[in-house]
Structure 1
Amino acid sequence: MKAGIIGCGSIAKLRHAPEYKANKQISEIVFYDRNPERSERLASMFNGSVARSINDLIEDPTIKVISDCSSNENHHIFSTKALLSGKHVLCEKPISLTVKDAQEILEAEKKSGKVLMVDHNQRFTRAHQKAREIIRGGELGKVLTFRTTFGHKGPEHWGVNKSNSTWFFKKERSGFGVAGDLGIHKLDLIHYLLEDEITKISAFQGALNKVDEQGKPIEVCDNVVASMQTKNGCLGSASFSWSYYGEEDNSTVLYCEAGILKIYHHPEYQLEVIKSTGEKINYQLETIQTNDNQTNTGVIDAFIRCVTTGEKPIASGRDALGSLKVVLGMLQAAETGRVITVNPS
Structure 2
Amino acid sequence: MNKLKVAIIGCGAITYHRYAPEYASHPQAEIVAFVDVVPGRAEEFTSRYGGRAYFDYLRMLEEIKPDLVTVCTPNVYHAEMTIAAANAGAHVLVEKPMAASAEEAEAMIAAARSNGVQLMVGQSQRLMPPHLKAKELLSSGRLGRVLTFRCSAGHKGPESWSVDGRESWFFRKQEAIMGAAGDLGIHKADLIRWLLEDEVAEVSAYISNLDKAGSYVDDNLVCSLRMNSGAIGTLVASWTYYQGEDNTSIFWCEHGTLKIGTEPDFPVIIQLRDGTIEKYSVPGIATNDNMHSSGVVDVFIHGILEGKPPFIPGEEGFRSLKVILAAFESAESGKAVAVI
Q: TM-score range by the shorter chain?
A: over 0.9
How many residues matched?
A: 337
1:250 corresponds to which residue?
Answer: 247
Aligned partners of 2:280, 2:168: CA distance in 1, in Å?
38
**TM-score scaled by length of structure 2:** 0.97
Residues 42-89 of structure 1, C-alpha deviations (whole Å, 9 max, x = no match): 112223331342123222455211100111000110000101110010
Aligned to 2:286: 289
RMSD: 1.1
Of the structure 1 ranges 102-111 and 34-43, higher mean CA displacement relative to structure 2 is found in: 34-43
Q: Note closer, same or farther for the CA distance 1:6–1:209 as it changes in structure 2 (3 Å cut).
A: same
> In the TM superposition, what are the counterparts of 1:90-169 in structure 2 within 5 Å?
90-163=93-166, 165-169=167-171
Corresponding position: 1:301 with 2:298: yes
> Unaligned regions of 5+ residues in structure 2, if any?
none
Question: 2:310 corresponds to which letter in structure 1?
Answer: P
- Give the distance between the partners of 2:63 and 2:29, measured in 1 at CA: 15
1:262 counterpart = 2:265? no
Give the structure 2 partner of residue 87 of structure 1. Answer: 90
Deviations 1:7-63 (A, max 9, x none): 101111111111001100012341000113110111122233313421232224552
Q: Aligned-pair distance for 1:287?
A: 2.2
Q: Does 1:200 align with 2:197?
A: no
Who is 2:8 aligned against? 5
| Secondary structure at 1:146 match in 2 | strand
* Separation in structure 1 between the aligned mates of residue 196 and residue 270 of structure 2, nearest angstrom: 16
What is the CA–CA distance in structure 2 between the aligned matches of 1:69 and 1:175, rounded to whole Å?
15
Which ranges in structure 1 are unaligned for 5 or more consecutive residues? 213-217
1:338 partnered with 2:335: yes
Report the equivalent of 1:34: 37
The structure 1 segments of at least 4 consecutive aligned residues displaced by more than 6 Å after TM superposition are none
* Structure 1 Cα separation of the partners of residues 230 and 81 of structure 2: 38
Q: Which amino acid aligns with 1:85?
A: A
**Which deviates the most, 144-153 or 131-140?**
131-140
Matched, 1:234 2:231: yes
Taking every aligned residue pair, what percent have the same amino acid on both sides?
39
Taking structure 1 as the reference length, what is the TM-score of the superposition?
Answer: 0.95
| Rounded Cα–Cα distance in structure 2 between residues aligned with 1:240 and 1:226 | 9
In the aligned structure 2, how far is the partner of 1:303 from the partner of 1:240?
27
Alignment partners' CA distance in 2, 1:170 and 1:286: 35
The 8 Å contact of residues 32 and 64 in structure 2, kept in 1 or not, is answered as no
Is the Cα contact below 8 Å between 2:209 and 2:217 reproduced in 1? yes
Whole-Å Cα distance in 2 between the matches of residues 209 and 27 of structure 1?
Answer: 42
Is 1:65 aligned to residue 59 of structure 2? no
Letter in 1 for 2:197: E
CA contact (8 A) 1:79 1:89 kept: yes
- Secondary structure (helix, strand or coil) at the match of 2:266 reads coil
Q: Residue by residue, what CA displacement relative to the aligned partner does 1:110-154 show, whole Å, maximum 9, x if unpaired?
A: 101111100000011121111111111101101001000000000
Amino acid at match of 1:19: E
